[in-house]
Structure 1
Amino acid sequence: MSTVISTKSSADNTALRDQLAVRSWKVPIVFAALAVFAVVVFAVFGPEGHATFRLSQEQDAWQLPDLVLPAKASGIVAALACVVLALMSYLQTKAVGRTARWVSSSFTVVFVAGFLIWIIGGTKTQNITLVGLFTGAMLIVTPLVFGSLSGVLCERSGVVNIAIEGQLLAGAFTAALVGSITGNAFAGLFAAAVAGLLVGFLLAAFSIKYLVNQIIVGVVLNVLVAGLTGFLFEKIMKIKVAGATIYNQPPHLPDLPIPVLSEIPIIGPTFFRQSVLGYLMLVLVAGIWFALFRTRWGLRIRAVGEHPQAADTMGINVNRTRFLNVLAGGAVAGVGGAYFTLVAVSSFSKDMTGGLGFIALAALIFGRWNPIGAFLAALLFGVAGNLKSILQLAVTPVDGQFLAMLPYALTILAVAGLVGKSRAPAASGIPYVKG
Structure 2
Amino acid sequence: MDNVFLEALVRALAVGTPLLLACLGAVVNERAGIVNLGVEGMMAVGALAAFAVASASPDANLWLAVGAAMLAGAALSALHAFATVTLRANQFVSGLALALIGTGAAGLLGKRFEGMPLFNKVPDWTLGGLTISPFTVAALLLAGALAFFLNSTRPGLTLRSVGENPAAADVLGVNVGAVRVLAVLAGGALSGLAGAFLALSYRASWADNMTAGLGWIAVALVIFVGWRPLRAVWGSLFFGVLYYLQFRLQGNSPVPPEVFSAMPFVLVLVVLAIAGRRGQQGDAPAALGLPYLRGER
TM-score range, shorter chain: over 0.9
1:249 aligns with 2:118: yes
The one of 89, 92, 112 equivalent to 1:215 is 92
Q: How does 1:15-54 map to 2 (within 5 A)?
A: 54=1
How far 1:419 moved relative to its partner? 6.5
Change (3 A) 1:142 1:192: same
Q: Distance in 2 between matches of 1:227 and 1:355?
A: 14
Confirm or deny: 8 A CA contact 1:250 1:347 kept in the other structure. no
Change (3 A) 1:428 1:295: same
Q: How does 1:153-168 map to 2 (within 5 A)?
A: 153-168=28-43
Q: How does 1:328-407 map to 2 (within 5 A)?
A: 328-392=186-250, 394-395=252-253, 400-407=257-264
How far 1:296 moved relative to its partner? 1.0
- Give a deviation string over 1:229-283, Cα, whole Å, max 9, x none: 111122x325xxxxx73xx52520111223xxx13xxxxx2xxx32221111011
| Alignment match, 1:136 | 11
| Alignment match, 1:327 | 185
SS in 1 for 2:55: helix
How far 1:394 moved relative to its partner? 3.3
AA matched with 2:70:
A
| Alignment match, 2:157 | 299
| Alignment match, 2:278 | 420
AA matched with 1:230:
G
Q: Distance in 2 between matches of 1:302 and 1:136?
A: 34
Confirm or deny: 8 A CA contact 1:174 1:192 kept in the other structure. yes
Q: TM-score, normalised by structure 1?
A: 0.64
Q: How does 1:242-281 map to 2 (within 5 A)?
A: 245=116, 249=118, 251-258=120-127, 262-263=128-129, 269=130, 273-281=131-139
AA matched with 1:228:
A
Confirm or deny: 8 A CA contact 1:133 1:390 kept in the other structure. no
1:149 aligns with 2:9: no
Q: Distance in 2 between matches of 1:296 and 1:155?
A: 18
Change (3 A) 1:232 1:400: closer
Confirm or deny: 8 A CA contact 2:37 2:96 kept in the other structure. yes
| Alignment match, 1:237 | 113
Confirm or deny: 8 A CA contact 2:46 2:194 kept in the other structure. yes
| Alignment match, 2:105 | 228
AA matched with 1:222:
A
SS in 2 for 1:348: coil
Q: Distance in 2 between matches of 1:232 and 1:399?
A: 34
Larger radius of gyration: 1
SS in 2 for 1:380: helix
Please provide the CA RMSD for this pair.
1.7
Confirm or deny: 8 A CA contact 1:367 1:375 kept in the other structure. no
Structure 2, unmatched stretches of 5+, are: none
Confirm or deny: 8 A CA contact 1:204 1:326 kept in the other structure. yes
**Number of matched pairs:** 290
Q: Distance in 2 between matches of 1:327 and 1:155?
A: 12
Q: Distance in 2 between matches of 1:429 and 1:291?
A: 22
- Percent identical among aligned pairs is 34
How far 1:434 moved relative to its partner? 1.1
Q: How does 1:108-127 map to 2 (within 5 A)?
A: none
SS in 1 for 2:293: coil
SS in 2 for 1:257: strand
Confirm or deny: 8 A CA contact 2:250 2:260 kept in the other structure. no
How far 1:400 moved relative to its partner? 4.2
Q: Distance in 2 between matches of 1:395 and 1:166?
A: 34
Q: Distance in 2 between matches of 1:251 and 1:221?
A: 31
